[in-house]
Amino acid sequence: MTNNGPAATQASLEKEEGLYRIGEVSRKTGVKAFVLRYWETEFPMLEPEKGPNGRRLYREEDVQLILKIKRLLYDEGFTIAGARRHLREGGGAE
């Protein structure tokens, strides 16, 4: 039995537009959803869209930014303020 209701339509639209829900981004990046929500408050450049139902929808650029933030914090030992400054000054470009 397939679900052809509004939720199924919303999900198919998200996939067509290359948008990901927070759970998908969490699995893809290895960063817990609550950490992603916290990072949104600390990194102003990380601003996922909000769907009509209020859910966060991340673009591919957001996913790449999350991976950069994760690398700076976990691998390179930056503080949150240091990582924010580094990204703001263009240090996120590779």
**What is the distance between the alpha carbons of residues 71 and 20, in angstroms, rounded to a whole number?**
20
**What is the distance between the alpha carbons of residues 40 and 48, in angstroms, rounded to a whole number?**
8
Q: How many domains does the chain have?
A: 1
pLDDT, residue 9, reads 47
* Domain CATH number, residue 22: 1.10.1660.10
Range of the domain at 37: 6-88
- Identify whether 73 is part of a domain: yes
pLDDT, residue 81, reads 97
pLDDT, residue 13, reads 47
Reading the block at residue 51, the tokens are: 């769907």
**What is the distance between the alpha carbons of residues 16 and 12, in angstroms, rounded to a whole number?**
6
- Identify whether 94 is part of a domain: no
Q: Which of the residues in the chain have pLDDT under 70?
A: 1-16, 91-94
Query: For 93, left (φ over 0), alpha (ψ -120 to 50), or beta?
Result: beta
| Residues forming beta bridges with residue 57, ordered by sequence position | 21, 49
Length of the chain: 94
Q: What is the pLDDT of residues 62-86, one digit of tens each?
A: 999 999 999 999 999 999 999 999 9
pLDDT, residue 7, reads 53
- Identify whether 93 is part of a domain: no
H helix or E strand, kind and range, residue 16: helix 6-16
pLDDT, residue 90, reads 85
Tokens 């509004």 correspond to 6
- Identify whether 83 is part of a domain: yes
